[in-house]
Amino acid sequence: MAKITFITSDNKTTVLEGSSGSVMQLAVDNNINGIDGDCGGVCSCATCHVHVHPDHFEKTGMPSDIENDMLELDDHVNAYSRLCCQIEINEALDGLVLTVAK
Amino acid sequence: MTNSSTQICVVIGASHAGVNFAFSLRKEGWEGSIILFDKQTAIPYHRPPLSKTYLTSGDDAKDKNVLKSHESYTKENITLQLGVSVKTIHREAKKITLSDGTLQQYDKLVIATGARPLIPDIKGINNAINIFTLRTIKDSEAIRNAIKKGGIKSALIIGGGYIGLEIAASLKKMDISVTVLERENRILDRVTTQNLSTFFKDLHTNNGVVIDTKKNVISIETHDNVNTVICDDGTRYNSDMIVLGVGIRVNTELAQEAGIAIENGIKVSAASQTSDKAIYAIGDCTYHHNPHYNRFVRLESVQNAIDQAKVAAASICGKMAIYDAIPWFWSDQYDVKLQIVGLFSNYNEVIVRKETGENKKLSIWYFNDKELLAVEAVNNAKAYVLGTKFIKGRKEINKTNLRDVSLTLSPSNLLLP
Ligand SMILES: Cc1cc2nc3c(=O)[nH]c(=O)nc-3n(C[C@H](O)[C@H](O)[C@H](O)COP(=O)(O)OP(=O)(O)OC[C@H]3O[C@@H](n4cnc5c(N)ncnc54)[C@H](O)[C@@H]3O)c2cc1C
Ligand code: FES
């Protein structure tokens, strides 16, 4: 089990628990505002953009090349941007804090 | 919005369009009931993986494939009625008849009935064995189960469109020997130009799939568990399995019988409204105007389903909403990711760009004079993302620089000052 915190653009904080699947699925299953997951998690839509808490970037790791390319021109991209469909949930993510990008 | 708490919004079809609509409607502030009907029994799911990862990966992929969990419907107070098909729309009474004969009242009705596979008129098709179409989760499972049972070594895909080619790639991955038969001169004839057709033909050929073009199938003979497919030029193909991928038929009958305007699909306004003000239509079943390209189109894509769903939801909640999206689409085959943005028809110039040293990174840029219309990007998300920005902003491109692969793809290199 990993506890993951989502902070949405309306400054609402939601803590969810997951054990498998992607962070995007967890968010979509719980109606987290701003994470749509339109392409179903194949890195094609960029509707699952989050900012990882800077202290937690080691937990999630760096984005892949295609993820970087998808994000590069996004108006809200920063050094801690990830497409959360590309983050698989595992124990090591416990305590992760994510801010949903606008 | 006033007084919507006693109103009922009914949605026919719970797939990409219908489900996204229901959740968007809540988000827009609709306080009344939302009832989704679908004749299928499975909880609504993502369709794109059905020909891709879902086909190859098996039941463990089931949870991953769900559009929204059961709990999220409950949380948003959206009623999901599965296994119920809608038979008739009574516009004057604002009611629909369900498959069990009961009537359901509506204030607003949304038609999201999508499409079904086209079954070509081929002699002997009804007697063929192990013959499949692919539109639903059941179809995908049926293909996978037939292979799991054993005894299937070869498959013929009739139709070289995106879905047919994705199935070819997936079956190949499952160690089936695959042949694709295409009626036209080239695969993907209806959806792209020669450049991309050639790329995919080579990709499949290199992966051991046989692609035969100019093959018009006229009959199928089936003896002793083997299908023989016969083309009008006399060629014959034996195969254990046949998958039909020759396109779709839009589910417009329900709307048509109710007297709603139909033109190459259910005709809708910029707000996705049909000719009846209380009835909206969204997704694959619609024929709509695209303002950016100023033409009418019927699209088969997740993007269109979702964007129309959002527009319809906003409009029903009394907001000004206009569908003004740049279409986008993707297809995954083998290790190749194709991403398309824009509509290429009306082009008069194409620039094909192959990145140096990088395996299969390709992008195809379509112009009408100065205007960039569309980009097809193969393993090149950067080209896709840039293309999207440029098309949206109607930016003028420096074509000389675009042709020059020693210059990287970036706004500063590609935009004219
Ligand atoms: C195998 C496959 C791969 C695809 N790959 C991609 C891809 O990579 N990228 C992409 O963008 N798009 C892809 N698509 C297209 C995409 O899935 C469709 O554009 C999308 O599903 C359209 O959604 P929709 O809700 O409009 O219609 P549909 O998904 O067709 O759903 C319509 C629903 O309405 C229901 N229905 C119809 N009539 C009735 C009735 N009378 N009563 C009750 N229910 C009814 C049906 O059961 C169905 O569930 C793919 C499609 C398939 C089949
Ligand atoms: S869900 Fe589409 S990119 Fe993550």
The reported pLDDT for the residue numbered B52 is 95
- Distance, C-alpha B232 to centroid of its chain: 30
For residue B18, with 0-12 CB atoms within 10 Å meaning exposed, 13-18 middle and 19 or more buried, which class applies? buried
| Cβ separation B63–A72 shorter than 8 A | no
Q: How far is the CA of B19 from the centre of ligand 1 (A)?
A: 11
Cα separation, B183 vs B226, in Å, equals 22
Residues of B in Cβ contact (< 8 Å) with A16? none
Out of B69, B385, B386, the one facing A29 most closely (by C-beta) is B69
- Scanning the structure block, which residue is given the tokens 């709307």? B255
Cα separation, B409 vs B417, in Å, equals 16
- Phi and psi based region of residue B398 (left: phi greater than 0; alpha: psi -120 to 50; beta: remaining): beta
Instruction: Provide ipTM, 2 decimals.
Output: 0.95
A49, A43 Cβ separation under 8 angstroms: no
Across the beta sheet with B131-132, the strand order is B131-132, B241-244, B154-158, B177-181, B210-212
The reported pLDDT for the residue numbered B59 is 66
Residues of A in Cβ contact (< 8 Å) with B48? 39-40, 42
Q: Which residues of B383-416 are buried (b: 16+ CB within 10 A; e: fewer)?
A: bbbbbbbbbeeebebebebbeeeeeebeeeebbe
Closest Cα of chain A to B403: distance in Å? 20
CB B329 less than 6 A from any atom of ligand 1: yes
> Could you tell me the pTM of the whole model?
0.96
The reported pLDDT for the residue numbered A13 is 97
Residue A28: partners with Cβ closer than 8 Å, 6 or more residues away: A35, A36, A37, B68, B69, B72
The reported pLDDT for the residue numbered B357 is 80
The reported pLDDT for the residue numbered B222 is 95
The reported pLDDT for the residue numbered B225 is 86
Q: Picking from B53-67, B72-86, B191-205, B317-331, which range would have the lowest pLDDT averaged per residue?
A: B53-67
> What is the total residue count of chain A?
102
B301 CB near a chain A CB, below 8 Å? no
Rounded to the nearest 10 degrees, what angle do helices B16-27 and B302-316 cross at? 30
For B75, the 3-state DSSP assignment is helix
Cα separation, B302 vs B283, in Å, equals 8
A2, A18 Cβ separation under 8 angstroms: yes
CA dihedral A44, A46, A47, A53 (to 10 degrees): 140
Pairing of strands B78-82, B33-38: parallel
Residue A41 pLDDT exceeds 60: yes
The per-residue pLDDT of chain B, averaged, comes to 96
B63 CB near a chain A CB, below 8 Å? yes
The reported pLDDT for the residue numbered B63 is 77
The reported pLDDT for the residue numbered B60 is 67
Class of domain A2-100: alpha beta
| Residues paired with A81 in a beta bridge | A51
Mean pLDDT of B47-54: 96
Q: Picking from A61-75, B247-261, B377-391, which range would have the lowest pLDDT averaged per residue?
A: A61-75
Q: Within 10 Å of residue A5's Cβ, how many Cβ atoms?
A: 15
Residue B2 pLDDT exceeds 60: no
Phi, psi of A65 (to 5 degrees): -60, -45
A87, A23 Cβ separation under 8 angstroms: yes
| Residues paired with B353 in a beta bridge | B363
Predicted confidence band of residue A82 (pLDDT cuts 50, 70, 90)? very high
| Cβ separation B64–A25 shorter than 8 A | yes
B308, B17 Cβ separation under 8 angstroms: yes
B246-270 pLDDT, tens digit each: 999 999 999 999 999 999 999 999 9
Mean pLDDT of B48-56: 95
Residue B3 pLDDT exceeds 70: no
Nearest residue to B387 (alpha-carbon basis) of A64, A69, A101: A69
B304-346 pLDDT, tens digit each: 999 999 999 999 999 999 999 999 999 999 999 999 999 999 9
The reported pLDDT for the residue numbered A73 is 84
Q: Within 10 Å of residue B226's Cβ, how many Cβ atoms?
A: 13
Phi, psi of B252 (to 5 degrees): -110, -5
Domain residue extents for chain A: 2-100
CB B112 less than 6 A from any atom of ligand 1: yes
Nearest residue to B252 (alpha-carbon basis) of B133, B134, B114: B114
pLDDT > 90: percent of chain A: 92
Q: Outline where B94-209 has alpha helix (H).
A: 137-148, 162-173, 194-206
Q: Which of A22, A23, A24, A68 gets mutated to test ligand 2 (max ligand atoms within 8 A of its CB)?
A: A24
B332 CB near a chain A CB, below 8 Å? yes
Residue B61 pLDDT exceeds 90: no
A48-57 pLDDT, tens digit each: 999 999 999 9
B124-171 pLDDT, tens digit each: 999 999 999 999 999 999 999 999 999 899 999 999 999 999 999 999
Closest Cα of chain B to A58: distance in Å? 25
Residue B359 pLDDT exceeds 90: no
Direct distance between the N- and C-terminal alpha carbons of chain B, in angstroms, rounded to an integer: 46
The reported pLDDT for the residue numbered A102 is 87
Residue B62 pLDDT exceeds 90: no
The reported pLDDT for the residue numbered B358 is 72
B15-26 pLDDT, tens digit each: 999 999 999 999
B29-43 pLDDT, tens digit each: 999 999 999 999 999
- Phi and psi based region of residue B3 (left: phi greater than 0; alpha: psi -120 to 50; beta: remaining): left
Q: Which two tokens stand for residue B80?
A: 């999901």
Pairing of strands B286-290, B266-267: parallel
Predicted confidence band of residue B173 (pLDDT cuts 50, 70, 90)? very high
